[in-house]
Structure 1
Amino acid sequence: MDNWLIFFNVLILTILIGLLIVMHKKNVSFSKRVFTGMALGIILGTLLQVFYGSDSKVTLSTLDWYSIIGSGYVKLLMVIVVPLVMVSIIRSIINLNTADQLGKMASSVIGTLVLTTLVAAFIGIASALIFDLNADQIHIGQDQKMRGTEIQEKFDTMEQKTMPQRIVNFIPSNIFMDMTGGRPTSVIAVVIFSFLVGIAVLGVRRKDPEHAEMFTKMVDAVFAVVMRLVSIILRLTPFGVLALMANMVASTNFAGIMELGKFVIASYVALITMFIVHLVIVSAFGVNPVTYLKKVIPTLVFAFTSRSSAGTIPLNIAAQKNALGVDDATANMSASFGATMGQNGCAGIYPAMLAVMIAPSAGINPLSPEFIIQLAIITAISSFGVAGVGGGATFAAIIVLSSMGLPIALAGVLITVEPLIDMGRTALNVNGSMVSGTITSRLLGTFNKETFNNKSAVVEHAEA
C-alpha cells in the first residue's frame, strides 16, 4: 500500500511540473513561473504533512524521490559555479584593458559586505532585546543536546586557527583541488586565481599582443559555451523551487516551531528590517528600489527555497549582469565573495541574536553598552573570517560566541527551527551580495542604466 501512495505522490509532482512546462510554452514570465512553483510546493508539502505526517515512511520515501528534482537542480547549479566564475572574471579583466580599477572594485565589494554585516548585527541585537529572547526560557531536549555537542566538537577543531590563518586559507595553493571544491574557501581561491590570470593576460598584451589575442579568443569561446549552459540550467529553476519547497514544508517540525515561535518571529523581523535597509542603501545610490526588487525577486526566491548561497551564485551573477545592469567583473566578484564572507543573515543577524540570548546564562548583562558595541564589532570582523572555516551560520555563531566568552553548546537549542530561519537568512545573504555589486558598479561608473530600466531585461535571459 505504501508503495502505491509513494507512486501517487510522485505522480502529483510530475503533473505539477507538467503545469509549469505548459506555462513556459504559453510564454508566462519567469518570475510568475518561479512564484507558481513556490506556491505549488507549499501546497504539496502541506498536503503531505496533513495526510502522512513529517516522519512517516511514506513522506520520507516521497521526499527522497522529490530530491531528484530539488537537490538535483542545486547540484547542477553547483557544478557550473567554478567554470562560470573563473571564465567570467578572466574575461571581464581582459576587457577592462587596465588593472587600475581592480583594487577599487575589491575594496568596495568587501567593504560593503562587512559594513552591512555590522548594521545587521546591530539590528539582530535590537530584535533580540525587544523580543526579550533568553536561552534559559527554551526547553532543551535530546536533539538539542546532541546538536550542542556537535557544535562544541566543531569549535574544538577550529580553536587552533587564528583569524590571520583563516585569511591565509583564501590563497590557492593547488588550483585544481580548489576547482573541485576540495576546501571550504575554494570559491574565493578560484576568484583570486582568476584575477591573477586576468592581470597576467593584460601584461602579456603589452609585450606579446598576438598571444594575448589568441588567449582572449579562447576565453571568449569558452565563455559563450558556459553561458549557454547556465541558460539551460536556469530554465529549470521553477521545477527546482517546486520540489525544494515541497521538501521543506513536508519535513518541517511545526511543533518545534510553535515552541520557539518567538525566536522565529524575532528573526524574521530582523531579516525584513535589514532587507529594508538594503533597499534604502540602493536608493541612496540612485537606484530605484522598486525596480531593483522586481529584478532580484526570482533569485531571492530560489535562495530562500534552496538555502544555498553558493548554489545561488550562477543565478545571482545572471541577475546582476542581465537584469540589474552590473558589469561582468563586479557581478562575479560580489556574488562569489558574498557567498562566503560578509553574510548579513548568517554572519550578522544570527550570531548577534544568539549572543544576546545566551549572555544572561553566562552572567552577562546584554543591555550593557560595552557588550553591545563589542558584539557588533566582533560580528562584523568575524564575518570576514567565516569563509576561512567553511562559511555558514553555525561557524559564524561559533566564532562570535567563543570570541565573546559565551558557551558554544547552547547554540544547539535552536535546531528545530534552523531550516525555517535559514531560508530567510540565505535570501538576505544573497541580496546583500547583489547590493554590494550594484553599489560598486555605480561607484565605478560601469552601471548600465538602460539594462536596469529595461523591463524585458530579466534574469532568465542568461545567454544575453
Structure 2
Amino acid sequence: MGNLRKVTNAARLAVSTLLWFALTAFIAVVIGLLIALIMQPGVHADASSLQGQAPEHEGSWIGFLTGLIPVNFLGLEVSTAPGDTGALVSEVDFNVLQLIIVSGAIGIAAVKVGKAAEPFLQFVEAALAVVQKVVWWIVRIAPIGTLGLIGNAVNSYGWSTMGSLLWFVVAVYVGLAIVFFVVYPTLAKLNGLSARQYFSGVWPAAQMGFVSRSSIGTMPVTQKVATDNFGVPQGYAAFAVPFGATTKMDGCAAIYPAIAAVFVAQFFGIAIEPIVDMGRTALNVSGQALIPAIVAKRHGILDQPRYDAKRIDGYVPVAVEAAGGTELTASDEDGSVGAGAEGGTAEGRAAAD
C-alpha cells in the first residue's frame, strides 16, 4: 500500500484494481459453478472408496464478516487445548484476511503521514527485498517438494481413491483452462492489449506458479513479468502484485471452491491439494499479472512499447527503446526492477516519480 505514494492518482488506481479483482473473481466463480453443474464430478466418484464424513461445523456470512475484524494488532490467535498425553498444548494461528486489513491500515497511514514515514517505508521495502530473495531460493527447489507431496497423497489414499477423484480434477482444470485461455485474453483484447503478447509475457510466472504451487512464492516472478514484460510502472506494480498475491486468486479462491462446493455436497475429507494446486496457482499468478496491466492501460501509465516488445527466454531484453527514447532496464531474477522500468511513456514516468 505504501508504494502507491510513488504514483499519481493512487486512490483511483487502488479502487480500479479492487474492482477488476472482484470482476474477474466473479466471472471465475460463475464458470466454476457452471462446470461443476455440467460435469457433476461428485456423481462420478466412487462412494465406497471415499468414506466421507460431514463437516463438524458450517460457515456463515456473519462469521465471515466478524472474522475480518482483527483480534489484535498482528491478527494472531492463540488457542490452548489438552494434547494426546493430557498436557496443555498451545497453538498460534493467524487469519490472512485480518493480516491484510491490518497491513492495509498501516500502509494507508504511512502514505497519509508523508515524509515522516519514509524511514519506516524504506525499512519495510528493504525487509521485503530480503524476504523475496529467500523465498526465491526456496521456490527454486519447490518442484522437488511438489513431487514428494503428490507421491505422499497417492501413498496415503491409494490409486483407487485417487482414481475416483479424477473427474473432479478434470473439472477443475477445465475451469482453469477456460479462464486462462478465454477470459483473460478476452479482457486483454477488450482493453487494447494483445492476447498473444499476454500469453508470451505471462508464461514465466504461470510456469513458476505451476511448479511452486505458491502465489506468494511466485510473486517476485509475477512482479518481474508485470514490469518488464507488460510495462506496468514499478510504483504501481509494487502495490498491485503483492496485493493480488494475497487477495486475487481466481484459481484457489474462485474456480476450485466453486467446483469443490458442489463436489463436497456428497463427499468430504480427501486431500488432493498437491495435484490441483499446481494448475490453480498458475491461474492465480496469470491473473495477478494481467490486472495491473489492464488498470495501467486504462489509466494511461502502461508502457505499451514494452508490452508489445518481443520476449527472449520469457522476458523482454535488457534494453528496449520506449516511447520518447527512454531506455528501460529489465529486472533481476528476484523481482527488483531498475529505475528505467518505471514506464516509457511520459504519463508512466510521471506516475512513477
- TM above 0.5, yes or no, is yes
1:455 to 303, 317, 326: 317
Q: 1:231 to 1:436 in 2, by over 3 A?
A: same
Give the aligned partner of residue 73 of structure 2. Answer: 174
1:326 to 232, 236, 252: 232
What are the Cα deviations for residues 346-370 of structure 1, in whole angstroms up to 9, with x where unaligned? Answer: 3322233244556xxxxxxxxxxxx
Gaps of 5+ in 2: 78-91, 310-315, 319-329, 338-353
Does the Cα contact within 8 Å between 2:251 and 2:280 map onto a contact in 1? yes
Q: 1:228 to 1:446 in 2, by over 3 A?
A: farther
Give the aligned partner of residue 56 of structure 2. Answer: 153
Higher strand proportion: 2
Quote the offset at 1:175 in angstroms.
4.5
Give the aligned partner of residue 310 of structure 1. Answer: 216
Q: 1:251 to 1:443 in 2, by over 3 A?
A: same
Quote the offset at 1:127 in angstroms.
2.4
Asked if residue 119 in structure 1 is aligned to residue 27 in structure 2, the reply is yes
Q: 1:455 to 1:279 in 2, by over 3 A?
A: farther
Where does 1:247-266 land on structure 2 (aligned, <5 Å)?
247-253=148-154, 254-266=159-171
SS state of the match for residue 141, structure 2? Answer: helix
What are the Cα deviations for residues 365-400 of structure 1, in whole angstroms up to 9, with x where unaligned? Answer: xxxxxxxxxxxxxxxxxxxxxxxxxxxxxxxxxxxx
Asked if residue 293 in structure 1 is aligned to residue 204 in structure 2, the reply is no
SS state of the match for residue 56, structure 2? Answer: helix
For residues 416 and 221 of structure 1, the distance between their equivalents in structure 2, rounded to whole angstroms, comes to: 40
Q: CA RMSD in A?
A: 3.5
Asked if residue 107 in structure 1 is aligned to residue 15 in structure 2, the reply is yes
Deviation larger for 308-317 or 264-273: 308-317
1:335 to 217, 222, 241: 241
What are the Cα deviations for residues 210-269 of structure 1, in whole angstroms up to 9, with x where unaligned? Answer: xx2x7536744763574366346536643333x234324433424433222222222211
Q: 1:217 to 1:306 in 2, by over 3 A?
A: same
Quote the offset at 1:187 in angstroms.
4.3
Whichever residue aligns with residue 118 of structure 1, its letter is F
Give the aligned partner of residue 107 of structure 2. Answer: 195
For residues 294 and 181 of structure 1, the distance between their equivalents in structure 2, rounded to whole angstroms, comes to: 39
Higher helix proportion: 1
SS state of the match for residue 316, structure 1? Answer: helix
For residues 341 and 223 of structure 1, the distance between their equivalents in structure 2, rounded to whole angstroms, comes to: 20
Does the Cα contact within 8 Å between 2:37 and 2:262 map onto a contact in 1? yes
Give the aligned partner of residue 343 of structure 2. Answer: none
Q: 1:260 to 1:326 in 2, by over 3 A?
A: same
Q: 1:283 to 1:153 in 2, by over 3 A?
A: same
Does the Cα contact within 8 Å between 1:245 and 1:305 map onto a contact in 2? yes
Quote the offset at 1:271 in angstroms.
0.8
Q: 1:248 to 1:450 in 2, by over 3 A?
A: farther
Give the aligned partner of residue 66 of structure 2. Answer: 165
For residues 248 and 203 of structure 2, the distance between their equivalents in structure 1, rounded to whole angstroms, comes to: 21
Quote the offset at 1:144 in angstroms.
4.3
Asked if residue 279 in structure 1 is aligned to residue 191 in structure 2, the reply is no
Asked if residue 93 in structure 1 is aligned to residue 4 in structure 2, the reply is yes
Whichever residue aligns with residue 110 of structure 2, its letter is G
What are the Cα deviations for residues 277-308 of structure 1, in whole angstroms up to 9, with x where unaligned? Answer: 11221232222333333333232223223323
Does the Cα contact within 8 Å between 1:121 and 1:352 map onto a contact in 2? yes
Does the Cα contact within 8 Å between 1:330 and 1:440 map onto a contact in 2? no
TM-score by length of 1: 0.55
Whichever residue aligns with residue 184 of structure 1, its letter is V
Whichever residue aligns with residue 429 of structure 1, its letter is N
For residues 272 and 283 of structure 2, the distance between their equivalents in structure 1, rounded to whole angstroms, comes to: 17
Where does 1:57-72 land on structure 2 (aligned, <5 Å)?
none
For residues 188 and 425 of structure 1, the distance between their equivalents in structure 2, rounded to whole angstroms, comes to: 21
RCO comparison, higher one (Cα < 8 Å, 6+): 1
Does the Cα contact within 8 Å between 1:303 and 1:427 map onto a contact in 2? yes
1:223 to 125, 132, 154: 125
Does the Cα contact within 8 Å between 1:295 and 1:458 map onto a contact in 2? no
Gaps of 5+ in 1: 1-88, 203-211, 359-406
Quote the offset at 1:460 in angstroms.
1.7
SS state of the match for residue 135, structure 1? Answer: coil
What is the aligned length?
A: 300
TM-score by length of 2: 0.70
Where does 1:40-55 land on structure 2 (aligned, <5 Å)?
none
Percentage of identical aligned residues: 24
Quote the offset at 1:182 in angstroms.
3.4
Give the aligned partner of residue 240 of structure 1. Answer: 142
